Amino acid sequence: MKLTDDRVETICSMLREGYSRKKCADAVHITRQTFHNWYVSNPTFAGKVDEAEKEYQVWKFEGIKRDCLDSLKTLICGTEYDEVTTETRQDVNGKPYEFKKVVHKKVLPNVTAVIFALCNRDPQNWQNKVTGEIKEEVKSTNINGNLSLEKVPDEVLAKVIEFMK
């Protein structure tokens, strides 16, 4: 099989989309060994393959992150769109005709996405959990495998109870 510009373009295009070298070889009707031989013996082909794989890796890490952030922004802000449906109606003579109906729709912000964004973006001010700290020295006793809080001062227990409310 000959290494043609069309084959190189097909291979590189598929690699940019994340396909494996084996899938690319199958698509241009060559064996994996032929692909490997071309890669090893032809620096131009090898450079194009490496560049295409690198482009996919950049998209994989940067593009996916960007796409996720765009999706999160849509969930946080909500969105609007037009839903178009086609209905079949009848005119005054009973003849059917198609009628396009456009309904403008609004999608409200997703509360879970808003909470997620706030908690991750500004954890000092937004948290999904309540935390607190009580610093007291407490001496407890262990009676037959059971922890006894008899000797814990009432004011410390009150702080714990207040915190747990």
* Domain map (residue ranges) of the chain: 5-65, 78-129, 132-165
Q: What is the pLDDT of residue 76?
A: 94
Q: What is the pTM of this model?
A: 0.45
Q: Is there a contact between 159 and 134 (Cβ–Cβ < 8 Å)? A: yes
pLDDT (tens digit, 9 = 90+) per residue, 86-103? Answer: 999 999 999 999 999 999
Are the C-beta atoms of residues 48 and 10 closer than 8 Å to each other?
Answer: no
- 137-154 mean pLDDT: 69
| CA–CA distance, 87 with 69 (Å, rounded to integer) | 37
163: Cβ contacts below 8 Å, ≥ 6 apart:
132, 134
Q: Where is average pLDDT lowest: 2-6, 32-36, 57-61, 84-88? A: 57-61
